[in-house]
Chain A
């Protein structure tokens, strides 16, 4: 479902706000690429820590730490 069909009057949302998470991730990627990978795999793909660890070739513990840090930074950036 595209948002164009949802937003009234000013039809069309090319500059969609759904970009907010994306943009926050983009900014984060400039700082720490791996954090972004962890967020994508964990939040968007629903992988477990172990699955992420094996995909990235790091330990579960590192994934857990990265995730905590990424979550805190994103929460801050998105004002949540």
Chain B
């Protein structure tokens, strides 16, 4: 089905789709049939889309929000179930203590004997490891920020060699609070006092901006000494934290949280805050006092559940107990107090757990509680409206009283959160960053560039005054702005400022990312030493968070690749991959990218033969993630083609680029294919001697590169055209094309493939014009340069082959044979395990001609024989050099 081609068609489609989707599915077909003739062209498309609407099965397009560093694949190594005696990190599992939706808690002991105590070890369920690592890390951070005698403390955390995260916590030898109350036959008063201990712990967490979100009896244990311990902050949320995965975690939680104790806003997936814990504590207290839960819930669908929680009528606790004495004790204050804690509207509950606890204490002390039955509260509000002034003064006193409490912290944070929400999201969300980088970077049309620059300049001056209060936010925004600028010096200055204002920050991930981005910019500004030092400091620092290290290693690899330090590029990508796996973050796009980076770095290190297997694994990974059509996957495929071109497998490379081009045309009919696909495909065509096709492909490359203002792309295209013209004897046209190439900016990037190729074609042109000595000399200089920068051996081989031709032309057949033999050795090494290579064929051809000139007919014949075979098999029967080899061979046979 053809995608919509223009906005008009899309507008019509959108309108019709909107109307159709508003109808019940059963009526849609009849409605479609009644459409006017003028819309009939869209009918097939509409039917197809409507069929897809509402069907979740097998259609996950865009369903999951973009998460840049949250891989979700299964970790195969951890699929086997855990058993007592198993070792996890420095622990041995003793027995299972319990398990929840996503993790199991084990009683465990340290195997190194360093501490003689039993601990509770939390492990994600086998198979969940990869996707849970991030959440476990959050739990670890949250627990580490809480230190309270009534909260089970965090001892240690880590990741196993297989990438499975674990948390070691205080083992609490106790019973769930409801069981404890029942078994000990506690009085109402004793139950209330126990509850106050719980409230104290929850209040401490709120003061640290942590909402528990899963308060229930099984997470509240009481020890034999009657001490309460609060457990399991596994689904806890940091207030005001709008980090990239927050929404996703919340969604996950929608299913993971025990619904019986969940608040209406939680079940309805609306924003949660301290009021959620107030609600759950209300349910817990209700159960402790009445002996039953306030309501029974259906378990079928989330929607039914939400409805039930919202509709559930909570009968007074006193009405649920049979013991008259208890009923009497609950009636009045305690009923009212529970009702206030469990109001449907978060705003109508106790404003804090402390306020809730204070009312419980008042009741215990025999004082009147502050909670009032609902109707009275409504009457009070009306009175307030009538006597606004005097009551407002009273409210001010109340605010003063609660200052310094958890509530005050929360309110202050909440106010700031609301103010900054939009920008805080921008600052923290890498995915948004990627999108806007595109918008302000690559998507800017040339004629808009100045306006965008002015806009960015204004932004840069606004950041400090607007966000300076939270240096991390200011820095995160600067980091994004820096990426928008197409001006390395400017960007570097921004990142330097970002680094300065976060110098003392505890957010090491942010600091590392800033410095590592900065490193890449410094390198492009020629300050390589500084750049490398900066990156390596973060990489070496054991306190740098894992994913930040991976990022820094990738940057280190990129710098090395730019500087053709292939070995360092390879080491860095390999180390990044290892680190990613050790952090339990393998299985995602990032791993696929790194596998591809390693493949290309292997090629750049002259180990092209090994690259194949890594590319294959990278592609497998993309396919497993259903990302095989993503940009990165296609870049990697194109790089694979580059490696095949270097190893001499021209036909295979050509097929690969044809496929890339096809898939591009299939996916994005409305825009040009990228220049790197076009340019590499043109080269493959040239090497099969399909001259006209190659010229057309180079022309396409030129057009697209010019539109994108990509001078090296344009140079590549002009040089390609010149190369074809030299091969076909159109020397004047070749010279003109080379002149066009030389006029483009960037000619000083001597190691760039387009520049290297230009030098080579120029030498070939000299040779064809009869200036063989000059060509020989130029190629000598080029070879010296290529070797000095450690350029890819395929370039060296190319230059050697041509110098052999030049040597022959100046009457030095022995030198020609030497060069040809060296080119042959290089080509054969690159060819690796593959049966044929056009480069090998070309080197044989040069050797065959040199041998003939040296009068060694047998050696020459053998070489030419080889040349013909290789060229024909690798570059196809049309290849001009294959024909030349056959002609020379026949000539020798007749001699």
Contact = CB atoms under 8 A, between A and B. Distances in A.
Contacts of A79: 3, 666-669
Interface in B41-69: 45, 49, 52-54, 61-63, 65-67
Nearest to A72: B49
Nearest to A39: B62
Given A14-B713, A23-B670, A69 B558 contact: no
Interface string A1-39: 111011111111111111110110011101110010001
Given A9-B676, A51-B271, A46 B671 contact: no
B680 A10 contact: yes
A15 B66 contact: no
Contact of B49 (A39, A40, A48, A76): A76
A75 interface: yes
B175 interface: no
A11 B712 contact: yes
Interface stretch (B119-127, B130-138, B630-638): B630-638
B221 interface: no
Given A45-B429, A65-B21, A80 B629 contact: yes
A7 B667 contact: no
A51 B247 contact: yes
A1 B570 CA distance: 16
B10 interface: yes
Interface residues of B, number: 95
A19 B671 contact: yes
Interface string B547-576: 000010011001001100000000000000
B269 interface: yes
A41 B112 CA distance: 49
Per DSSP, chain B at the interface is helix
Nearest to A6: B635
A20 B562 contact: no
B753 A11 contact: yes
A79 to B, nearest CB: 4
B509 interface: no
A27 B4 CA distance: 10
Contact of B10 (A1, A31, A40): A31
Per DSSP, chain A at the interface is helix
B178 interface: no
Contacts of B251: 48
Nearest to B22: A65
Given A15-B708, A16-B674, A73 B13 contact: yes
Interface stretch (B193-201, B322-330, B438-446): B438-446
A47 interface: yes
Which of B675, B680, B707 has the most chain A CB atoms closer than 10 A to its own CB?
Answer: B675
B674 A46 contact: no
Contacts of B431: 44-46
A80 B346 CA distance: 42
Interface stretch (B459-467, B639-647, B764-772): B639-647
Contacts of A73: 4, 10, 13-14, 17, 49
Contacts of A14: 442, 675, 705, 708-710, 713
B62 A75 contact: yes
B138 to A, nearest CB: 15
Given A14-B709, A22-B439, A7 B676 contact: yes
A5 B562 contact: yes
A68 B634 CA distance: 28
B752 A15 contact: no
B432 interface: yes
Contacts of B643: 8
B411 interface: no
A10 B635 CA distance: 11
B704 interface: yes
Contact of A9 (B271, B645, B707): B645
A40 B434 CA distance: 11
Contact of B679 (A10, A32, A39, A46): A10
B11 interface: yes
Given A1-B554, A76-B45, A15 B672 contact: yes
A17 to B, nearest CB: 5
A65 B23 CA distance: 12
A13 B61 contact: no
A80 B629 CA distance: 9
A28 B62 contact: no
A51 B251 CA distance: 13
Contact of B4 (A16, A46, A76): A76
B244 interface: yes
Interface string A47-79: 111110001000000000100110111111111
Contacts of B4: 73, 76-77
A74 B520 CA distance: 34
A10 B753 contact: yes
A15 B710 CA distance: 8
Contacts of A11: 676, 712, 752-754
Contact of A72 (B52, B434, B554): B52
11 contacts: A5-B558, A5-B561, A8-B603, A9-B676, A10-B676, A19-B671, A30-B10, A44-B434, A46-B431, A72-B53, A76-B45
For the complex of A and B, list the 3 residue pairs with the smallest distance between their C-beta atoms, beginning with the closest. Answer: A15-B708, A46-B65, A10-B676
Given A18-B438, A44-B65, A65-B21, 4 more contacts: A5-B558, A14-B705, A43-B65, A76-B49
